[in-house]
Structure 1
Amino acid sequence: MEPIDLSPVERRVWRAFPAGTPLDLRDGDDDPEHGGGWGASRTLRASVLRKLLLRPAVDGELAALRVNGARITGRLDLRYATIPHPVRLSGCRFDEEPELYGAHLRQLNLSRSFLPGLVAQTIRMDGVLRLTECRVPGQVRLGGARLAGALFLERARLGDDGAPEEVLHLNHSVIEDDVWAPSLEARGQIRLNGATVAGMVNLRQAVLLTPGGRAFDGENLKVGSDVVATGARFDGEVSVRGAAIPGLLVLTQARLSDATCALRATSAVIGEVWLRDARVDGTANLLRGRFGLLHAAPDAFGGTVWLDGLTYGLLTPRLPAKARIATLERDEEGYVPHAYEQLAASYRQAGDDRAARNVLLAKQRRHRSTRPRYARLWGYLQDVTVGYGFRPLWAAAWLAGLLAVGTAVFGPHPPAPLKADEHPPFNALFYTLDLLLPIIDFGQEKAFKPAGWHQWLAYGLVIAGWVLATTIAAGITRTLSRQ
């Protein structure tokens, strides 16, 4: 039985409901954002819709509320209600934010509608929740929601210049499909803290603006596949701290900017992170992150980086070690040994041992810069002579040069023998080798005694030999300890 106080348009909706007949109220002026002036022929009271939705279904009919282009006055209060019928209120204007706290619905479609806000914490949805192209200047509160289908937010506009800091709250929600939000525009924070998304989070070409705040909060977010934000723009921090993303985090061609921290992925476990042609203007905090693959050119990071504890399997694109080392030297914490070891391990995994050695050499040089001035001398000596053990051929070059000098000096002017009647024939080459090599004994050094400045040259060769031997031994020890 119909209520007797229904308006003509409400009566049409009431009669269309039992069979799920669509009702289109559009008349040419169809922008719901400016629908405050829609007349009585398009106006429905929220209280009437509530009574209609709470009606039991008629046997043999598939009831549904399908209305397009209506103005809904009053507050649609469905708190804790169980609505077994599909609800589609598309292109509608809500004068007040709907109250769906704790409600249980089969499916809800509010596409292209204007809502001051949406209160729907702990809502249960047997199907999808569609907010496609919605305009919501206030908050969409879906904390603790459980959706058996997807959440659609493509081309939606959330918040405005005077909006609260948080415009979409999905904390601890469970979505058993995708969060589908390409081209979403949000002037305020998007929060998925502790949320679980069985499918993917799609933010392609999205624009999230929270200057000085957090634009995207995905801390402890768990997704079944990927988070894709190709070409997106984030003005404010993007945080996926502690997130578990087994597939891809795609920030290709994205722009991230924040005065303090533009990207935070601390302790996140991610299959692949793609920053191809991306730009991160602000600090990138990747502490203790674990990535299977990291695709990031050095110029992707416009600010400082935090890399201590970061591990990754492959690092692409493949670049010379010098280009990657420059990024490590911008670490906010200064000298971070683990960052160098991880980069070297990545080069070794790719089969580029030479690049790995260059990285480890850079590590020793950076470590030297952190030591007191008096302690740097030994480091400089190891660097010049054998490149901290990573340039063994340098030692050979030094030995060859010193050997040539000694041979050239002692050859024309042999030193006097210690015992005139007991000495081997003098050989300038092997005499110099005896001076340079502290372990090998050719019998020349003990048989002859130089004098004058030749004696000082001999002392210098002995000292140089010991220094070379010590630095070579230190380099070999360092190499063996890494192995």
Structure 2
Amino acid sequence: MLSYDELTSPERALWDAFPEGRRVDLRTGVLGEDHVQEGGQWGPERTVRASVLVALLQGANAAESGAVACLRVVGARISGRLNLAGAQIAHALRLEDCWFDEGVDLSEASTKSIAIVGSRVPGVEAGLSHVEGRLVLRRSRLESGAASPLHRRVTALSLINAHVSGAVVLNGAEITAPEEWAVSAGGLVAEGGVYCKDGFVARGEVRLMGAQLPGGLHMQGARLERPGCSGTALRMDNAVASTLDFSGGFSASGTVRLRGARISGSLTLAGAVLNGPPDGHGPALEAVLMQAVDFDLTLARPPSGIVDLRGAQVSYLHDNHHSWPAVVELDGFVYGSIKEDEAGERREAAGRRDSVVRRVAWIRRSPGYSPQPYEQLAAWYRKAGHDDDARRVLLAKQRHRRRALPPAARVWGRLLDVTVGYGYRPWLAGVWLLVLILVGTLSFSTASPHPVKQGEGAPFQPLVYTLDLLIPIGGLGQRTAWYWSADSLQWLSYLLIAFGWVLTTAVIAGVTRTLQKN
């Protein structure tokens, strides 16, 4: 136990102020001397042992009647490790502009609000902690310490499976663990959300896997870096949040990974920069199986890596001409509406003059062939009332599919494309029928056929004979009544019969698709 007699002057000031919740300010008022980066040079007159803080928070100096005890200190150098692991803390803690010689351990602690503002701390361990209030590290500078024999990974801020009833506020903080995890907060529950705004910087991976953030994650203007290595800048696999806000100049050098994340509101990257991993390998945005209501991907410039949206589901997609890199994974991506942003104005993408061309080119950025992106796009056009555009998309799907077929099938596919547009352009079949009627009529007018039976049958009519060959159902009496001695005209007859079957079938298929609004 600490005795009052063995306390130093600044420690006695803090001891006396604690029961009344008064703030103790140890700053000198000299601008150069009060900079936190100079805290390693502060002497005994500004030094407080971490054990004194622990003793006070554990009730060493009871609160006075009519006052609320609170530990508040400004401009102090905290010597030793602030070890509150497993503690039951009934008082709020606020440390401002302080220098910590060693890290802070809040693992498995149960505390009131904690604020370490504008301070330098060699790591905060708060795994499995329970904070009744807010956890504030605003403007603080956290750095990973030395690895221990029991922990291979070194984390500057650990909030693994922590529960914060208020918000986690990291606005303006700078968290550094370049080759490791800057923030490790898998399973974190932050009911008031997580705020990383106002110049927040993380050098190292930020991990929020399985986090539950009813108040959302707000990273407007944040900068995430993985200097000197490849990998992930932000990992939020299977996280659940009301909103994810990566707007306002947000930038990430490394993958932003949202695999399986569920966002009940909006996911916005408006004006964001996704640089992808520094070594150029890996996606810039990986959102496989992600779910969101509103997905805003109106980036400041095209991502430098792949955007992977396989299996993702969104109700509203907003994009612009910077949204998509050279390679986009879209297989299984489902959306209800697309709006394009041009000059700050958002308009429905369907119905625009070059809409189909642009959207098909978008799908073609996916490696390989998959029918789902085409079918999804066509379904969206149909839902918007643009059936012709939907058929153009499905025609593009068949043309893309043809590239993956064997040579013989590609030849047949090209024939179907040229003649009937795979059935999505039935009017082409009508054009071909008119051409064949004209060719047949002119060809058969140059010679006289022989009657099958002399003196029987209707007189020969080149036009009617040609129609009789091209129409496979029924008969006009000309084809069975006449035959040709010239081989060329006889072979022409066979070809017209064959083309008649193909084109008539295509016309019927096209009309059926039109009636079905396909």
- Superposition TM-score, scaled by structure 2 size: 0.87
| 1:67 pairs with 2:73 | yes
Contact 2:249 2:273 in 1 (8 A): yes
Contact 2:20 2:63 in 1 (8 A): no
Q: 1:364 aligns with which of 398, 409, 424?
A: 398
Distance between the aligned counterparts of 1:414 and 1:276, measured in 2?
71
| 1:98 pairs with 2:104 | yes
**Compared with structure 1, are the counterparts of its residues 79 and 42 closer, same or farther at alpha carbon in structure 2 (3 Å cutoff)?**
same
| 1:12 pairs with 2:13 | yes
Q: Which residue in the other structure is 2:153 paired with?
A: none
SS at match of 1:16: helix
Q: 2:47 aligns with which of 43, 53, 60?
A: 43
Give the alignment of 1:98-247 within 5 angstroms. Answer: 98-138=104-144, 139-159=156-176, 163-182=178-197, 183-210=199-226, 211-247=229-265
1:357 CA drift (Å): 1.1
1:481 CA drift (Å): 9.4
| 1:311 pairs with 2:343 | no
Contact 1:407 1:429 in 2 (8 A): yes
Give the alignment of 1:451-466 within 5 angstroms. Answer: 451-452=485-486, 453-466=488-501
Contact 1:143 1:169 in 2 (8 A): yes
1:307 CA drift (Å): 2.2
1:109 CA drift (Å): 0.8
Unaligned 5+ runs, structure 2: 145-155, 341-348
SS at match of 1:338: helix
1:94 CA drift (Å): 0.7
Which deviates further from its counterpart, 344-353 or 364-373? 344-353
RMSD: 2.2
SS at match of 1:270: strand
| 1:264 pairs with 2:286 | yes
Distance between the aligned counterparts of 2:490 and 2:449, measured in 1?
9
1:13 maps to a residue whose letter is: L
Contact 1:237 1:264 in 2 (8 A): yes
1:414 CA drift (Å): 5.0
SS at match of 2:4: coil
Which deviates further from its counterpart, 378-387 or 401-410? 401-410
Identity of counterpart residues, as a percentage? 40
SS at match of 1:58: coil
2:225 maps to a residue whose letter is: L
Distance between the aligned counterparts of 2:86 and 2:68, measured in 1?
22
| 1:429 pairs with 2:463 | yes
Which deviates further from its counterpart, 168-177 or 265-274? 265-274
Contact 2:70 2:93 in 1 (8 A): yes
SS at match of 2:439: helix
Contact 2:288 2:310 in 1 (8 A): yes
Q: Which residue in the other structure is 2:387 paired with?
A: 353
Distance between the aligned counterparts of 2:406 and 2:215, measured in 1?
54
Distance between the aligned counterparts of 2:212 and 2:53, measured in 1?
32
Contact 2:220 2:245 in 1 (8 A): no
SS at match of 2:34: coil
Distance between the aligned counterparts of 2:217 and 2:248, measured in 1?
11
Unaligned 5+ runs, structure 1: none
Which deviates further from its counterpart, 148-157 or 316-325? 316-325
1:205 CA drift (Å): 1.1
Number of equivalences = 480
